[in-house]
Structure 1
Amino acid sequence: MNKNILALVLGLSVVGCASNSGVESTIPASQMDKESVCCVSKKDFAWVALDKTEDIGFSIDDTSPVWDFQSGKSFFNAFEFSPRSGKVKVTLSSKMLKKQVFAPTVQLLDKNYQVSRTIDLDAFNVRYSDMFDANRYVHEFEVDAQELPYMVVYTDPSLIGETITVPHPARVRAEESGEPRPIVTDPKFTYSYTGELHLEVQTLSLGARQVAEPASVQATAATVATGAVAAEAATVEKKAAPAEIQPETKQFYHTAIEKAVADGNIPKALSLLDEAKALNVEGAQEVFVKAINAK
């Protein structure tokens, strides 16, 4: 009898940690429609470089970049697999917290940033809460990181506002043990534009994805006898030269930073400023300071 009471108490404590008592309102579609996309093209995404082995948690929230996917606008995170990885095993999970959950969709892109494979919510399974983690969506898959080096995680806007109901932990435990089902309320979670996710990457085989390295090596070898020093200096200068920024990209970041500051969304403005600096967009810092002073 004492064991049954203890199991019920533990079950109640787990669901308390998983869903919390407060309910945070979902960002409305009308607000998302007003969000500016982050970039001119997917090539300009702020790609997060992954190691051969990763075990990281991350959030997708209203400070994350926005892109207009085929299904509509969504906040997202973009990842690049290690160039040393060949076949990798990826495990992506999305936690059900504060009565909400981010319903993930995954795009895998080739070297030219073209979508080659899409994994939608139907491929994810629900894993119930335990003593170590909350209720969550989980999907495990393998990918050739040499052929598909880029991964984007976002949500399908058509799901926003819908709900999923999961069994109460005490009910699951009772069904597994064959005991009488307790009188408890199964928690519901609403699909949201934001959420907390977890990513695991395990390299199963090695690869050697390199860009322009072989050509550089061959050019150096071919000129060793007649100008090795000059060739090395030219290679260093070429590597140090920043990528050419298109006028449209520069104008996009300047305008987006000014708008974010004008709207009072300083975290988003700072995020845009960081992206602009990473892309060597000229004048972004000055635009930000001027906008702050005007504000």
Structure 2
Amino acid sequence: MDGSIYMDIRTRIVALIFVIVLSAGCSQKPKPEDTMLAPVCCASLETIPFYQIANPEFKQRFEIAPDTSPVFEFESGVSTFQAVRLPEHVGTINFRVGSVLENQVFFPYFLVLDEKLSVIQKVAASRENIRYGTIRKSVYVDTQFELDTNPYNLGSARYVVMYTKPSEIGLFTSFKSAETLRSDEQGYAPPIAADPTLPHGYYGTLQVEISPKTFGNVTNQQLKEKEARTAEKTTPQATSNNVSPVVVAPVVVDEPATAVPAKSKPSSQMLQESEDFYNQLITTFVNEGEVDKALKLVEEAEKAGSKSARDAFIEAVKNK
């Protein structure tokens, strides 16, 4: 037999054996690392802990882990969760969550709540929405949706609860390996090795990203509703959850301006956190040459009760 033919047959046999062994190894799918849950922490949504997000520009990872993450009994069953209080923003925000594909997947579901902690929207992740990062970056089950968090609309979104369902435990999510992505991009044949498959579990990592989508104007009726709401006593759920004051995001409208507008009559006393946020944003706009936006922001801040926005604008112009 010709030596080259013999080597070709031998190579094919070795490759076939490799595929058979690999297939046998992949036939047993992995299982979630931990399926034990801590006792339920709270009797109702009004008493669960919320992480306060003050700025409509936000990005942070939350670790949902044994012994540290709270557990609640949802309609779908008991689950670990991460809950956040949303920043108030006049307009809409984009709420994006990436569940990191690592040892296992926390496959997320979402409850959007209003000020009274009533459910106003339900959202579920999709196995089809996989977001691939660049080299050495994470891969995510990606979910994003828009939310109205306008503080002047009493029925707008105030909270988001991220949890999973017991029915997800035992299911799997598959995603393309780096080799598969490379072969797809360069038009090569797919690699022999199968793409990774990860089990869904009660624990994992969620990367939450929030960014302003639109800005809007505040109507007189909305201002009255806001004043009426702030005049009321603190709601029980806000006290029990130790929710910190919320920074109200500014209204930014592109309108030409050549001078600082007449000082607006404040509608109420502004919190120091809000003062700092407005002043920082005003300074940023001036430094970036967005003077029109900075001027509009001065006017809006003073309507909301700011006493230092005008000084911050003048100082920023001097230092530019």
TM-score bin (small chain): 0.5 to 0.7
Q: 1:184 to 1:117 in 2, by over 3 A?
A: same
1:90 equivalent to 2:95? Answer yes
Which of 108, 111, 114 is matched with 2:115 structurally? 111
Whose radius of gyration is greater, 1 or 2? 2
Cα offset, 1:88, TM superposition: 0.6
What is the total number of aligned residue pairs between the two structures?
Answer: 203
Which of 30, 51, 54 is matched with 2:58 structurally? 54
* Counterpart residue number, 1:193: 202
Cα separation, 2, equivalents of 1:172 and 1:102: 23
Give me the identity figure in percent. 26
Cα offset, 1:150, TM superposition: 0.9
Which of 29, 33, 48 is matched with 1:26 structurally? 33
Q: 1:70 to 1:121 in 2, by over 3 A?
A: same
Contact 2:91 2:212 in 1 (8 A): yes
Q: 1:207 to 1:53 in 2, by over 3 A?
A: farther
Which of 99, 113, 138 is matched with 1:134 structurally? 138
Cα separation, 1, equivalents of 2:171 and 2:194: 19
Cα offset, 1:45, TM superposition: 1.8
Cα offset, 1:96, TM superposition: 0.7
User: After the TM superposition, which segments of 4 or more aligned residues of structure 1 sit over 3 Å from their partners?
Assistant: 206-213, 215-218, 242-246
Which of 165, 181, 184 is matched with 2:190 structurally? 181
Of 55-64 and 206-215, deviating more is 206-215
Higher relative helix content:
1
Which of 105, 109, 114 is matched with 1:101 structurally? 105
- Per the normalisation by structure 1, the TM-score is 0.60
Deviations 1:226-260 (A, max 9, x none): xxxxxxxxx9xx88xx96999xx9xxxxxxxxxxx
Contact 2:46 2:237 in 1 (8 A): no
* Counterpart residue number, 2:74: 69
* Counterpart residue number, 2:227: 214
* Counterpart residue number, 2:249: none
Contact 1:128 1:169 in 2 (8 A): no
Task: Structure 1: give runs of 5+ residues left out of the alignment.
Answer: 1-22, 219-234, 250-274, 280-295
Contact 2:32 2:199 in 1 (8 A): no
Cα separation, 2, equivalents of 1:84 and 1:61: 31
